[in-house]
Amino acid sequence: MDLYGDRLCGGRKREGLVKNPVPGLPLVSIITVVKNKAASLSRAIEEVRTQTYPNREHVIIDGGSTDGTVEILRDDREIDFWISEPDRGIYEAMDRGIEASDGEWLYFMGVDDAFSSPDMLSSVFGGGHDLGDRDLIVGNVLTDTGLFRGRFTRALYFKNTVHHQGVFYRGHIFDRFRYCGSEKPGLPGPCYTISGDYRLNLMLFRRGAASIYLDRTIALCGRGISMEGRFTGYWEEILIRHEQIGFLRAVFFDLFTLLRYVLRKVR
């Protein structure tokens, strides 16, 4: 374990134990963001560890926990890489996870979520699908309100139709895009608290990212902060559309966002 200012970090990669290439099996980086959820983190680590797919790494980004999370990370010698330091929220932490990952494909696993089966990664990356030049692999997520079917289509102009736990991103897209900041490298930009994944997906769709849809359940998830119906999430959705497509084009879709919010509140 190393200490640099407020940053604690460790893991197998810090010790030089980097995953070797495996022919036909792309390296998949699973990124987990956590803060003060030690009990959930232990389950998430085991969830990744029981996946049968061999060529994977687990990167864990902690927001400066004080509940024993750091002790779990420090004592587990099998975690590939972890950092513990204060951040501005979940999306800045995810960007740090991107920077720490070496995978050809990246997946963001919520600390309270689970894969649909131990063979999930193998079923996606084990050679049964022609991923070619695809930038995203989109699937479904089972939530406590039912099955969320992912869609990387023009429906994104109305709302986020790609569940964060139902998509794998090819690593090279993050050479240009991040959850926080400007699309131009090195320039400041927004860092949303709830809808940063919507911003990323809309940016990718508008710039012609290629996707493949797999009609299978990738993960089992609870509602999460983006599903709680807070007005902040709807407002961020509006701001993101204005940023991406301009005020005049966005207003039409904004009306549907406000209608969704009202209908949710009157149920």
Chain segment 65-86, per-residue pLDDT in tens: 999 999 999 999 999 999 999 9
- Give me the CATH code for the 2-225 domain, please: 3.90.550.10
- CA atoms lying within 13 Å on the CB side of residue 206: 16
pLDDT at residue number 2: 59
pTM, rounded to two decimals:
0.93
Whether the CB-CB separation of 135 and 207 falls below 8 Å is answered with no
pLDDT at residue number 185: 61
Segments of the chain with pLDDT less than 70: 1-6, 184-186, 223-229
Give me 3's structure tokens: 């200490």
Residue whose structure tokens are 């609870």: 222
Whether the CB-CB separation of 91 and 112 falls below 8 Å is answered with no
d(CA 35, CA 67): 9
Burial of 29 (0-12, 13-18, 19+ CB in 10 A): buried
Domain boundaries, given as residue ranges, for the chain: 2-225
Beta strands of 112-157 (E only): which ranges? 114-115, 136-143, 146-149
pLDDT at residue number 152: 98
